[in-house]
Amino acid sequence: MTEPSNLLILMSDEHQARAMGCAGHAFVQTPHLDALAGRGTLFENAYTPSPICVPARAAFASGRFVHQTRLWDNAMPYTGQPKGWGHALQAAGIPVESIGKLHYRSEEDPAGFDAEHMPMMVANGIGMVWGSIRREEQRPAAKGRMLGNFVGAGESRYTEYDRAVVARTKSWLDERASAPDTQPWCLFVGLVAPHFPLIAPEDYYNLYPLDQLPEAKLSPASGYRRHPWVEKQNAQMDSEALFEDAAERQRAFAAYYGLCSWLDYNVGQILGALEASGFADNTTVIYCSDHGDNLGTRGLWGKSTLYQESTNIPLIAAGPGFAKGRCATPVSLLDLAVSIPAHFGVPFAGAGGLARLQELAAGDPQPEREIFSEYHAFGAVSGAFMLRRGKWKYHHYVGFPPELFNLETDPQETRDLAGEADYAPVLKEMEKRLRAICSPEAVDQQAFTDQDALIASFGGREAAQSVGTRGATPPPKPE
């Protein structure tokens, strides 16, 4: 049996899967991620278990669906329960540490790391409680702008934090290289970019001249009508309507793309340090993001929808066990969760139907493999559920009409087939398969019940409306 190599996991925040050169983007510059994909496997159809930070990261940490963790929104962070891949490594004596963003509850919680360096957690350990109030007639109006008060070139607390995370990662690799312990290790590094605020360092912002940026597709200003569930979800904070003018909107595009290139630069810095430390030849590197970003498509910004822009994520793996090439088999962050312990030969049971990424990449394509995602957080007046199977992508909204897309002929999801008679059998089959995973109605009710209990614990709806951060989670002070 081959000795396990080290494992370095790099997770960004809100990186749209298409926004990489190696993913075929027309102009986004990501040379370091492209090089990583060039020497490893690019998973072309990777998905998040939930298109919002805290539930997605809790699901990834535990290897379980959101309806299994019952950590529904950004006020229900991971505490170390249910136990996940980190705990499995600890039990097996594998050194496992983290640097950077986790978005769990508290550094004091036993979350599966031997050490957490400068961890970014939910604000004050409680997160965005006011966002847990989801019933349309009760939910509070959002205050301020999700994307930040300023959009454009410059520095933010997040770009400063990412610099500090990269610096700490470099020093960690140096320290580990000089340590007498030669046991294989696992290091998780959490970077924030390209998450809003949409402020990109000037050199990276300037890579994207405003007059050369294409218009987002399916604009409501051009006659597109959003799905009624999406319309209600977006109404709680309509970022598109809050731009000062068309010029600021263009700056938002440039800033997001600039942050993607800034992220790529930071990945390159870490991979360079890996090489300098002597670990490059014996370390498997995995890059991913927690979810994507709508980036103006359908007049939507941020995440929180089931469309490809929001649920489809970048996922690259390079190193021992990963051949050069692309893997079209659909995968999830939950597959990555079981792949981490498996990398070290450690057993770990997550949600049913998961598989090692190494096996999926090396095996024959499985186009019919089912991938599931769900959303029960900010703005959602009811639960939303996604099932990807083969060319079909099905969106189930409790109390609202479904959506159905053929990703083979319509990868941009521009034509909803759910209301067309010719596709009624497909719609019925996809709903049947989704219900084999969970009951949407029962899960929806459980989410509301748990969120009602959380709201009550803060003194009720009126009191809870003012609890929690109103914008992006503040990073910790650098070490």
Q: Hey, where are the domains in the chain? A: 6-464
Residue 241: what pLDDT? 95
Cα gap 100→165, rounded to integer Å: 6
What is the DSSP secondary-structure string of 199-234? EE-HHHHTTS-GGGPPPPSS-GGGT----HHHHHHH
**Does the pLDDT value for residue 406 go beyond 70?**
yes
Cα gap 273→428, rounded to integer Å: 52
Q: To the nearest 10°, the Cα dihedral for 108, 54, 134, 443?
A: -100
Residue 299: what pLDDT? 97
DSSP 4: P
Residue 1: what pLDDT? 33
* Amino acid sitting at position 319: G
CATH of 6-464, one of 3.40.50.2300, 3.40.720.10, 3.40.1350.10, 3.40.109.10: 3.40.720.10
What is the DSSP secondary-structure string of 409-459? T-TT-----TT-GGGHHHHHHHHHHHHHH--HHHHHHHHHHHHHHHHHHTT
The string of pLDDT tens digits covering residues 54-64 is: 999 999 999 99
In the numeric block, which tokens belong to residue 23?
Answer: 């993913």
The predicted model gives 268-287 an average pLDDT of 97
In Å, how far from its chain's centre is CA 61? 12
HSE-CB for 13 with a 13 A CA cutoff: 24
Percent of the chain with pLDDT over 90: 94
**45: pLDDT confidence band, cut at 50, 70 and 90?**
very high
The predicted model gives 399-408 an average pLDDT of 98
Residue 146: what pLDDT? 87
**479: pLDDT confidence band, cut at 50, 70 and 90?**
low
The string of pLDDT tens digits covering residues 13-40 is: 999 999 999 999 999 999 999 999 999 9
Residue 478: what pLDDT? 67
The string of pLDDT tens digits covering residues 327-353 is: 999 999 999 999 999 999 999 988 888
The string of pLDDT tens digits covering residues 61-106 is: 999 999 999 999 999 999 999 999 999 999 999 999 999 999 999 9
The string of pLDDT tens digits covering residues 294-331 is: 999 999 999 999 999 999 999 999 998 899 999 999 99
Residue 126 near residue 73, CB atoms below 8 Å: no
Q: Return the ∠ at Cα 301 (arms to 297 and 306), rounded to 5°.
A: 70
Q: Is 11 helix (H, G, I), strand (E, B) or coil?
A: strand
HSE-CB for 90 with a 13 A CA cutoff: 14
The string of pLDDT tens digits covering residues 101-133 is: 999 999 999 999 999 999 999 999 999 999 999
